[in-house]
């Protein structure tokens, strides 16, 4: 423990950083402060001083509040609790919802400038739902403590916090969440509400069951523990966004089109629905159960196929072995990619760029990872042609972006 850890300082908070934290300075040193808003003066407790370049701190009192501060939407995560006992998962809940989107806009534009080398503004678009940003989570993971009680983890910790409510969750999830029950011997309790069939629990590692999610008129099957967008309007929003992001003039349904990190086929289906049943598209996903579902979900498109493989290995092998005919189909192709939070990374970017597809539609849940990958694509001859952002995670710092890149 450093000599500053546990000490309290008065800090002037100046701006927002990636990760849902704000930035202040103390004697020239950067201090990352949680539960604060740029423009505020706060008293904060130092929680980490081991880094020479910065410290971390938690707000314990707001001395001069921002006009954008509001009563926290979740008392269990709010300033009425000691920072160590605040539930995680609602780190922007004390900020007025419109200003949350403004801060997310700042994070995106700063990341694009610093890591992507581009200056571009963006509007963070709201999704349908409650005006205070509650009631949207269709999936909540609760953890079991040593006494069998359940709750979310504390912010920035793996300590279970028992709570009385889950305001970010949908009404159906809130109704069945067994917050007062005990589950000795288990590790997790997942509560989910698919768009078809009602809310349910997954206790521990019980055998997966198949559920159905509906997007417009289309239905998708998947395992109940499998990945699906969490916001109740997210799948529809991203389907529409990806369909609009594809440049018609650059799309060839007979080309070798790809959907990388494709899950159960949501975005491949978005492409097929827009361009017709003969559209050729290969969706690639490392999770075998998801790929099996994707094959069924995409069965009506004669040119669709689902491959189980790690994307970096599969795309690198394709780039290394494709003959001239395959390369020609790839150069006419469109690549959809929706990588995990860490981004696609240099290996995947290098392989995609080597195949020279006509356009890329990149769906990203982390602005810094997106910006880094954009920088890598720009070094290889691609430029951002369109970028939109969506508030898929209200009352948290997370934000989704959909970007089109084309050969310069």
Cα–chain center distance at 82: 28
* Residues paired with 41 in a beta bridge: 12, 64
Q: Is 229 annotated as a binding residue?
A: yes
Is 187 annotated in a binding site? The answer is no
Distance (Å, whole) CA 165 – CA 278: 48
Question: Which residues are the active-site residues?
Answer: 365
> According to the annotation, is 96 in a ligand binding site?
no
Annotated binding-site residue? 243 = no
Instruction: Specify binding-site residues for S-adenosyl-L-methionine.
Output: 229, 261, 285, 338
């Amino acid at each position: 423990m450093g000599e500053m850890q546990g000490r309290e300082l008065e800090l002037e908070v100046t701006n927002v950083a990636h990760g849902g934290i704000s930035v202040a300075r103390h004697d020239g040193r950067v201090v990352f402060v949680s539960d604060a808003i740029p423009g505020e003066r706060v008293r904060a407790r130092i929680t980490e001083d081991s880094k020479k370049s910065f410290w971390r701190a938690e707000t314990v009192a707001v001395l001069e509040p921002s006009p954008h501060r509001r009563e926290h939407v979740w008392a269990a995560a709010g300033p009425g609790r000691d920072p160590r006992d605040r539930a995680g998962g609602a780190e922007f809940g004390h900020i007025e919802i419109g200003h949350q989107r403004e801060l997310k806009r700042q994070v995106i534009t700063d990341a694009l400038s610093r890591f992507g080398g581009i200056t571009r503004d963006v509007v963070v678009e709201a999704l349908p739902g409650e005006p205070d940003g509650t009631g949207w989570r269709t999936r909540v993971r609760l953890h079991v403590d040593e006494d069998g009680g359940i709750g979310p983890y504390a912010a920035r910790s793996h300590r279970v916090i028992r709570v009385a409510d889950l305001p970010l969750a949908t009404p159906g999830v809130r109704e069945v969440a067994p917050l007062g029950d005990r589950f000795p011997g288990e590790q997790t309790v997942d509560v989910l509400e698919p768009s078809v069939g009602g809310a349910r629990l997954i206790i521990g590692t019980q055998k997966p069951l198949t559920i159905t999610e509906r997007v417009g008129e289309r239905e998708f099957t998947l395992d109940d523990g499998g990945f699906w967008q969490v916001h109740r309007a997210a799948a529809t929003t991203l389907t529409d966004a990806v369909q609009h992001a594809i440049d018609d003039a650059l799309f060839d349904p007979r080309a070798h089109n790809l959907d990388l990190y494709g899950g159960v086929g949501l975005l491949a289906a978005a492409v097929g629905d827009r361009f017709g049943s003969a559209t050729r598209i290969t969706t690639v996903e490392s999770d075998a159960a998801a790929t099996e579902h994707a094959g069924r979900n995409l069965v009506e498109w004669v040119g669709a196929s689902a491959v189980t493989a790690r994307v970096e290995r599969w795309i690198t092998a394709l780039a290394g072995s494709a003959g001239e005919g395959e390369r020609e189909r790839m150069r006419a192709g469109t690549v959809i990619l929706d990588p995990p939070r860490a981004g696609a990374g240099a290996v995947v970017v290098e392989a995609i760029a080597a195949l020279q597809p006509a356009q890329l539609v990149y769906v990203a849940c982390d602005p810094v990872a997106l910006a880094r990958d954009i920088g890598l694509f720009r070094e290889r001859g691609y430029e951002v042609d369109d970028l939109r952002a969506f508030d898929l995670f209200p009352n948290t710092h997370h934000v989704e972006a959909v970007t089109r890149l084309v050969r310069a």
